[in-house]
Amino acid sequence: MIGFKRGLSAVVATVLILLITIVLVTILAQVVIPFARDNLQHSTECIPYENYYNFDTSFSYNCYSVVSGKYIYKISVKAASIADSQEEDADGFNLVVGSESSSKVVYVKKGTGGSCDVGGIKNLEDPCNSLSSLKIPNPGESQSYEYKSEEVLTSVQIGSLLSSGRACDASDSMKQMPACT
Amino acid sequence: MKIEAEKRGLTPVVATILLVALAIIIAVIILLWARGFMKEIIEKSIAGKSERIENFCGDLSFSADVFLTDSKLEIGVTNTGDIPIYGVQITKVDETKGSKVNTGQIILNGGSLTSGESSSGEVNSGIPFEEGDSVLIVPILLGEVKEQKTWYVCDEQYGAEEVVA
C-alpha cells in the first residue's frame, strides 16, 4: 500500500512562518524592549552622578564644635559641573553619618525644611529661629550645612539622590573630623 | 519499503549571513544602549592641534578686575595667555556662610578674547554684591562636539578669586 502523505504546502508554510515572525516582533517591540530599556535605564541612571557631590575643603569647615553637650558638625558640600539636562535628575544628596555605635542616613532634599534638632540638618547661614528650605548646591556651586549629633561622628559619606527616588552610592567620604578652630 | 528522505536546510552561505546579521544587530543594540551613559568628549583645536578641551584649561592665563558701578558688578578680563577665552563664569564666594553661588556668565568680546585683548561685562543675576565680597572668576572655553560648537566651564582651580573694589 502506498501511503498517501499530505501536509502544508510550501506557500502556506511560508505565510505561517511570516505571520508568526510578525507577531513575535510586535510582542518584542511592545513589551520586551520597553521593559528592558526601563530596567537598563534604572541600572545606569547613577553613572553621571558617581562623583557629583563631594566635600568641599576650600572653606575652613568640615569640623565640629561642642555646644551644650551636643556636637555641631559644619560640613561643606560641592556639586561638580555636569550637563544641564542631568541637573534636573539630582534631587539632593544623603549623608551617611556613622558613630562608634551606629550609623544613620540624613536626607538633604530640595524643598525640605532645615532642622536644629538632634539628628537634624540645616544650611549653615540659617539661624535656628528662622529656618528656610534646604539649599542644594547647583552644578559648580558649594553650600555648607550644620548637623547636630549626640555622638562623635567617626565617618561621613555623601551620595546623590535622584528625582526617581534612587539613592546612588557614596561619591565621597570623610573620616573623623577635627574640632573647629 | 525504503523511503528516501529529502533533507533540506539552510545552505552554509545563508547560515553565515544570518549569523553575521545577528551579530551586527546585537552590536548596534549594545552600542545604542551604552551611548546613553557615555560622556561626550568636547574637543578644542588650536593651531591644528586638537585635544580634549579640559587639557587647555591649565594653559590659560588671564587677569581680572571686579568693581561696582552704580551698585552693579562689572568684570574686566585681560587675556595674558595664548588660548582664546570664550567667557567667564562668576561665582560669589562667602567664606562665613561656606557657600559658592553661581551668579552668571559673561561672554567676552563676542565669544573670543584672544591674546592681549581686554573686555568687560556686567553681572545681572539679582544677587547683591558689596565692596569686599569675594568673587571667583572661572574661564569658559569654546570647543566642539561632533562639529557642533559648545562651551566648557573650566574647573574652579583654573579660576581667579578677586575681591570686589
Average pLDDT, consecutive stretches of 10 residues, N- to C-terminus, chain B (165 residues)? 58 83 88 72 81 90 90 90 92 92 89 91 85 92 86 90 90
Using the CB atoms, write b or e for A29-44: b if 16+ within 10 Å.
eeeeeeeeeeeeeeee
CB contact under 8 A, A47 and B97: no
Asked if residue A86 has pLDDT above 70, the reply is no
8 Å CB contact of B98 and A124:
yes
| Bridge-based pairing state of the strands A121-123 and A142-149 | antiparallel
CB contact under 8 A, A138 and B102: yes
Q: Does B54 touch chain A (CB under 8 A)?
A: no
The top-level CATH class assigned to A49-174 is mainly beta
CA pair distance B102, B99, nearest whole angstrom: 10
Grid cell at residue A104 = 544613620
Contact A144 B99 (CB under 8 A): yes
Place of cell 560669589: B92
* Averaged pLDDT for residues A172-181: 91
Contacts of A40 in chain B (CB under 8 A): 33
Query: Any idea where the domains of chain B sit in the sequence?
Result: 43-163
- ipTM value, please give it: 0.72
Per DSSP (E only), the strands in chain A are 53-55, 63-67, 70-79, 90-99, 103-109, 121-123, 142-149, 153-162, 167-174
Q: Which is it for strands B87-94 and A70-79: parallel, antiparallel or unpaired? A: unpaired
Contact (CB, 8 A) for A63 and A178: yes
Look at residue A51 in the predicted model and tell me its pLDDT: 87
**A43's grid cell:** 541600572
Work out the pLDDT band at A49, boundaries 50, 70, 90.
confident
> How much is the average pLDDT of A103-109?
92
**From the CA of B72, how many Å to the nearest CA of chain A?**
22
Q: Count CB neighbours of B90 within 10 A.
A: 26
**CATH 2.40.160 for the B43-163 domain, yes or no:** no
H helix intervals, chain A: 10-27, 33-44, 84-87
Which pLDDT band holds residue A1 (cuts at 50, 70, 90)? Answer: very low
Residues 6+ apart with CB under 8 A from A84: A139
How far apart, in Å, do the first and last CA atoms of chain A sit? Answer: 108
User: Above 90 in pLDDT, residue A54?
Assistant: yes
Cα–Cα–Cα angle for A67, A155, B97, rounded to 5 degrees: 50
Determine, for residues B155 and A81 on separate chains, whether the beta-carbon distance falls below 8 Å. yes
Residue entry with cell 540638618: A121
Closest residue, chain A, to B102 (C-alpha): A141
The predicted structure's pLDDT at residue A4 = 60
Measured between alpha carbons, how far is B103 from B55 in angstroms, rounded to an integer?
25
**Cβ–Cβ below 8 Å for B102 and A140:** yes
Domain boundaries, chain A: 1-44, 49-174
Which of A40, A47, A59 shows the shortest C-beta gap to B98?
A59
All residues of chain A having their beta carbon less than 8 Å from the beta carbon of residue B87 are: none
Chain B residue numbers with beta carbons less than 8 Å from the beta carbon of A135 are 99
In the DSSP assignment, the letter for residue A31 is I
The predicted-structure confidence for A116-168, as pLDDT tens digits, reads as follows: 999 999 999 899 988 889 999 988 899 999 999 999 999 999 999 998 888 99
